[in-house]
A = this chain, B = another copy of it.
Amino acid sequence: MTVVTKELSFWTKGETDMVDITTEVQGELSDVKVKNGIVVLFIPGSTGGLITIEHEPGLVSDFKKAMEKMIPQGIEYAHNMRWHDGNGHSHIRASLIGSSLTVPFQHKKLLLGTWQQIALVDFDLHPRSRKVVMQIIGE
């Protein structure tokens, strides 16, 4: 059994931008001498989330619209009143979606469905760089 910790970086555009990170995660996994186990992905920040989804333009747009309906940007947030950074909705969306995702792999291959990708969602306001911690635990 072994633990390998890596850090990935992605450029995101903000405002519920969704980036497919499957290729990068599978690529890092292929480089490590483990056969079976889990990949734990974690965002060290409070305005990003990790999901699995069929990453196609229709659903990318539908996800953003659903977030706006459930946790609108335009309403009043106590966070914004205190800190004046205008990203109260980003924080609440991120807490709801979650900062952690665990995906099992076997024979060095992520056990995703055919139409299922791993996506990083950036709920923050502006384009920025986003880190994702990737930890591989396996044998």
User: In the complex, how many angstroms separate the beta carbon of A70 from the nearest chain B beta carbon?
Assistant: 6
How many residues of A are in contact with the other chain, CB < 8 A?
59
Chain B, Cβ-Cβ closest to A34 = B3
Give the distance to chain B from A34, nearest Cβ to Cβ, in Å: 9
Please, which residues of chain B bring their CB within 8 A of the CB of A77? 58, 62
A54 interface hit (Cβ, 8 Å): yes
Q: Is the interface of A mostly helix, strand, loop or mixed?
A: mixed
Give this chain's copy count.
3
CB-CB contacts below 8 Å: A108-125 with B: 111-113, 115-116
Report yes or no: A53 in contact with B91, Cβ–Cβ below 8 A.
yes
Separation in Å of the A117 CB from the closest CB of chain B? 8
A83 to B37: give the CA distance in the assembly, Å: 34
Which residues does chain B contribute within 8 Å of A40, judged by CB atoms? 38, 102, 104
> Is A116 within 8 A of B57, CB to CB?
no
Task: Say yes or no: is A129 at the interface (Cβ < 8 Å to chain B).
Answer: no
Please state if A79 and B59 are interface contacts (CB–CB under 8 Å). yes
Tell me the complex Cα distance, A8–B104, Å. Answer: 14
Task: Give chain B residues whose Cβ lies under 8 Å from the Cβ of A88.
Answer: 58-59, 62
Would you give the 0/1 interface string for A15-43, flagging 1 where the beta carbon is closer than 8 Å to chain B?
Answer: 00000000000000000000011101011
For A102, give the chain B residue with the smallest CB separation.
Answer: B100
CA–CA, A49 and B78, complex, Å: 22
